[in-house]
Structure formats: structure tokens, C-alpha cells
Amino acid sequence: MKFLSLSTLAFMSAMTILSSCGKASEPKNQAEDKDHDEPSKIEVTLQEGTLPEGTDTAKDIWAKDFKATASDKQVFTAEYSEEGKATIGNPVSLKSGVWYQMKITLFNEAGKNLNSEFFDPQEMSMHQFFFIPFGPKSDKNPDKALIDYKYGDINPQTNQYTTTPLGFTGYIKVLNSEVTPIQVQILLPHVAPPASKLDKNGNPYPFNSPNDNILDDIDMNVKMPINVIQ
């Protein structure tokens, strides 16, 4: 009869214990296992107003201290069916050279407001709305000179301005009164790690120029038609 050495017996016992513990949980795939509901409807509310002098500085992506100059608000909506068919609402009418506060609300199929889910710190690090303008003659080649935009999000959990751009609240201005109608593509990528919504220098991408490497997974993509008023 063969006898097993003590070292062999110890090794076999250790392997038995390890196998009985079960498999370790696999790392979460952020691209597939999102921590927010899937948006199926977008509502965009616009209100005319003013921003402090100096807001037009191209290097500054932020704005605050908006003052409404009109009580009327315009609302644009778009909704996607389960089959992915889009129902696009009526165009909005914006004056050239005037700032408008633009507030975005996302809803799921049941009509639940999803905005608060995107203000979780992890979700903020993976999301940023982009606003890409197109002229009347092309819906494939953007004309980035048509609009300006500034981010102005306030975190509802802290009541403080966010330090990373999101775009649920921001400010838009049409720059060219001679070009109408235009469309603004409202694009919300879900940037799952190891990709980053920041560039290699740690800076946010411009509001109208998302990098292709963050566009693999999109939470919302719709074009808002705008009639430009001189």
C-alpha cells in the first residue's frame, strides 16, 4: 500500500477547501450592466434669457447666473418605441445671438424621470451630453460654427455646481441668423471604462466634438429641429 506524504495531503485538503468556496464574482461590465434605466424619451425645455458678460469666452465651458427675460418656455420632445422607432416633436424657434437656458429630462418607458440616476458620482464620470449642429443642406456634416453652448449643471444631491460637465442644464445660443432651419444633435454617450470621457490631458471634450472612442455605447441620440429667428 502506498502512503501519501503529509505535504501531499495538505495540498489536497487546501484544494478541496478552495473548490468548496465557489467562484469569485466576476468584475462588472459597465457597458452591459448599467446602473441606470434605459432612457426612451427626452424632453428639452428652453427659456430665453441672459448670461453675465464674459460668458462668450471660448475657453470657458461653464456658465451660471442665468436671468430669464421671458416667462414663456418652449418644449421639444422625442420618444423611442421598443422597436427603436423615433417620434420627433415640433421644432423650436430660437432668436439668433440670444442665450437660452436648456434643461433636459430623460424618462424610461414607464414615464419615470431618470435624471437623478445620472448624478451618482460613478455615472457622472461616464456621461456627458454633446450638442452637434447641422445646417439645412446636410445632416451628415456638422457645422460647428452655428451654435455656442455652456454647461451649467447643479447636482440635486448637493445643490452645488458639478465639477464635471453633464448637460442636463446648460445654455445654448444660435450664432448665425442667416442659416435656418438647423438641427442640433443631442448625444449622450455611456463611456464605460477603460474608456474615459476626458481627453489624454484630463480635459473634457468640447460640447460639439466628442471623440470617436467614446461613442461605442449611446444612451440618447436625437436631432432637435430649430427655426432661427433674426
Which tens digit of pLDDT belongs to each residue from 78-115?
999 888 889 999 999 999 999 999 999 999 999 999 99
In 3D space, the residue among 204, 130, 196 whose CA is nearest the CA of residue 168 turns out to be 130
**Residue 53 confidence (pLDDT):** 85
Tell me the pTM.
0.84
Higher pLDDT: 175 or 26? It is 175
**Residues 54, 56, 62, 64, CA torsion sign:** positive
Measured CA to CA, the distance from residue 166 to residue 168 in angstroms comes to 6
Given a cut of 60, is residue 32 above it in pLDDT? no
Confirm if 190 and 124 have CB atoms less than 8 A apart: no
- How many CA atoms does the CB half-sphere of 148 hold within 13 Å? 20
Model confidence at 57, in pLDDT bands (50, 70, 90)? confident
Q: How would residue 16 be classed by pLDDT, with cut points 50, 70 and 90? A: very low
pLDDT for position 91: 98
C-alpha cell at 193: 471604462
The residue written with cell numbers 420632445 in the block is 77
Please classify residue 159 by burial: count the beta carbons closer than 10 Å to its beta carbon, then call 0-12 exposed, 13-18 middle and 19+ buried. Answer: exposed
The pLDDT assigned to 19 comes to 41
Distance CA 202, CA 186 (A): 23
Are 119 and 156 contacting, i.e. CB atoms less than 8 angstroms apart? yes
Q: Which of 176, 151, 154, 179 is nearest to 165 (CA)?
A: 151
